[in-house]
Homo-oligomer: A and B are copies of this chain.
Amino acid sequence: MTDLARPSGPTTTVAACQLRIDIDDPEGNRRRVVTAVDDAVARGAGLVVLPELVTSGYVFADLAEARERSEPVDGPTVTLLTELSARHGIVLVAGFCERSDGERPFNSLAVLDSGRLLAVYRKTHLWGTEKAVFAVGDALAPVVETRVGVVAAMICYDLEFPEMVRDVALRGAQIVVAPSNWPSNSPPPGERAPEVVKAQASAAVNRVFVVVTDRVGTERGVVWIGGSVICDVEGYPVAGPAQGEETTLLAELDLGRALAKDVGPYNHAFTDRRPDLY
């Protein structure tokens, strides 16, 4: 770590809207999205990150239900996200259940900037029983230029693979956002959930900002951590980790800091790597 001055520039207010999601009330979920985004923008947000599968919910009873709840990219969820990002002139990232041509839908996210759909990404690392209801994505996470900087987006368990974060960082990501649904676990007293520790480490290792937006609420017996967190390029949380409540984390970030990969006067997060060996 270093105390060196970092490039300072215009800041972006980033929001992680940790919502309660009800799998049996997709219309209500969409209303909660609108309220949360409007509120985050009113508080200055230029980049808003919503949870994984934010309008559909997560704990599908079976494949048939997942298929029934899935939507095409031009369905109600992405249409709503497009309208919200256009109306507010913001970058907006959220997860949705994407209809596919095959048997299973995708666990996807959309990245929007001021009403333009920049990327749809399909989760490439499936957690738990997701393997029973989702098709797996076959492309790495998108890295897109937006009005606030270069944004990479992946989903939940993806973030636990250092290869994923390294990849997007090497492709120029300044901020990695991860709509998530973190099922609860039981860390020893005083310890953070391992998911949070991994997010912190990935931020520090790559000198990128990391935003995880988790969800809250028990859904068909599954309890969620509600541990949303925003990490700076040194890996320290600058907002959160949240404690299981419905909340919007906000952080004012100088995303330009993620362009400098030097670590003190002699080291560099990328050029110190040894790709000749690994």
Interface residues of A (CB under 8 A from B): 1-3, 124-129, 131, 138-140, 157, 160-164, 166-167, 185-188, 191, 193-194, 197-198, 200-202, 204-205, 234-237, 264-267, 272-274, 277-278
Contact = CB atoms under 8 A, between A and B. Distances in A.
Given A3-B186, A124-B274, A197 B166 contact: no
A187 to B, nearest CB: 7
13 contacts: A2-B185, A125-B273, A127-B267, A129-B266, A131-B266, A138-B277, A157-B272, A163-B166, A187-B236, A191-B236, A197-B200, A197-B235, A198-B204
Contacts of A124: 274, 277
A125 to B, nearest CB: 6
A274 B1 contact: no
A235 B1 contact: no
A36 B161 CA distance: 37
A194 B198 contact: no
B201 A128 contact: no
B234 A194 contact: yes
A131 B272 CA distance: 11
Contacts of A200: 194, 197, 201
A179 B150 CA distance: 37
Number of copies: 2
A187 B235 CA distance: 10
Nearest to A158: B274
A265 B183 CA distance: 14
Contacts of A129: 266
A25 B148 CA distance: 54
Contacts of A202: 201
Given A197-B197, A205-B198, A278 B167 contact: yes
Contact of A277 (B140, B193, B236): B140
Contacts of A272: 125-126, 157, 161
A140 B278 contact: yes
Nearest to A188: B236
B194 A1 contact: yes
A78 to B, nearest CB: 24
Most B-side CB within 10 Å, residue of A128, A138, A162, A200: A162
Contacts of A274: 124-125, 161, 163
B198 A277 contact: no
A205 B162 contact: yes
A274 B164 CA distance: 9
A222 to B, nearest CB: 13
